[in-house]
Amino acid sequence: MGERVKIGVIGAGSWGTTLADLLAKKGHEVTLWAYEAELVADMRTGRENSMYLPGIRLADNLAFTGSLVDAVRGKDLLLFVVPSQALRSVLKETIAHISPESIIVSASKGIEVGTLKLVSQIYEELLPPALYRRFAVLSGPSFAREVAAEMPTAVVAAAEDDVVAKKVQDVFTCGFFRVYTNGDVTGVELGGAVKNVIAIAAGIADGLGFGCNTRAALITRGLAEIARLGLALGAKGETFAGLAGMGDLVLTCTGDLSRNRTVGIQLGQGRLLADILGEMRMVAEGVKTTESTCLLAQRLGVEMPIASKVHEILYADRPARTAVMELMTRDLKAEGY
């Protein structure tokens, strides 16, 4: 390992807890912030996040706090892993206490409802310009529980400054967690956000009892939609063939640990969205991201038929089987982005 780094991890869901544990086991000085006071106390005494990551023993040197100020003050690197719709309020509360020398890493995936901003654009809006230049995004195909179990995983650290990306790469990489660098922040971030929308669609198809043909079509054409939106936002097309594009999309559309696919399966089986979400402890980012994605696509004049049908199922009570048939009977066209 390289130098020992002081790190604050903001957000103790399954992914934030997993990354904090990984970093602590690498020998870094890590403090994990959780919103729930009872969770902080439980993790301190039991060395386990029984709420979001049960059954995984956390590193003995991992520290816990319920104070945002304590979590961010004096840190060399800050990792924000809060739901995208809560990010703005958390960031506003912490900015005054962030060291100007800190590297800021975002592992949140989504598009803000209302502003239609990518997570990186929220940071760009709120952070001082010098601090934003030290900003990076961490994304890619990575179920928290599999990383916590030390299963081989590869992700991407994207930053406009290659030095920042390489620093993040060095801090996070270990024997089972391989980090690649990328200069396309927009593409990496958009792939991580919109794949959750397509995963809901894939789950709906599974819930309806459709097979592998249907799933393969949804993944492939879903990737085309993501790429179209990304290109309209200035992303690089090749990014969507990589880990943060195709890699994350395949994982989330096919894996049983995918919360968004699980929501889709239950919708396909005829359950109501409110009932599904009411039973979930963790956030399925794709539900909110569907709304913001469709509005952003409309603003940019980008056609996203799969995302639009998911939106109709989620927010207009469109029967799932009807929506699929409408997709299949659209006007015929040539394949492409």
Structural domains in the chain, CATH included, are 6-183 (3.40.50.720), 186-328 (1.10.1040.10)
Whole-model pTM: value is 0.96
Q: What is the pLDDT of residue 282?
A: 76
- So which residues are the catalytic ones? 195
Residue 306 to residue 215: CA distance in whole angstroms: 12
DSSP 331: P
Residue 223 to residue 304: CA distance in whole angstroms: 10
Q: Residues 75, 96: contact at Cβ < 8 Å?
A: no
Percentages (nearest 5) of helix, strand, coil residues in the chain: 55, 15, 35
Q: Residues 105, 138: contact at Cβ < 8 Å?
A: yes
Collapse the DSSP code of 127 into the 3-class scheme (helix H, G, I; strand E, B; otherwise coil) and give the result. Answer: coil
Reference 33, options 85, 5, 72, 87; nearest CA is 72
Containing 187, the helix (H) or strand (E) segment is: helix 185-207
Counting Cβ atoms within 10 Å, is residue 275 exposed (0-12), middle (13-18) or buried (19+)? exposed
- Quick one: angle between helices 185-207 and 285-300, nearest 10? 120
Q: What is the pLDDT of residue 2?
A: 64
pLDDT beneath 70, residues of the chain: 1-2
Question: Which ranges of 233-330 would DSSP assign to H, the alpha helix?
Answer: 248-254, 259-268, 273-278, 285-300, 305-315, 320-328
Q: Residues 234, 301: contact at Cβ < 8 Å?
A: no
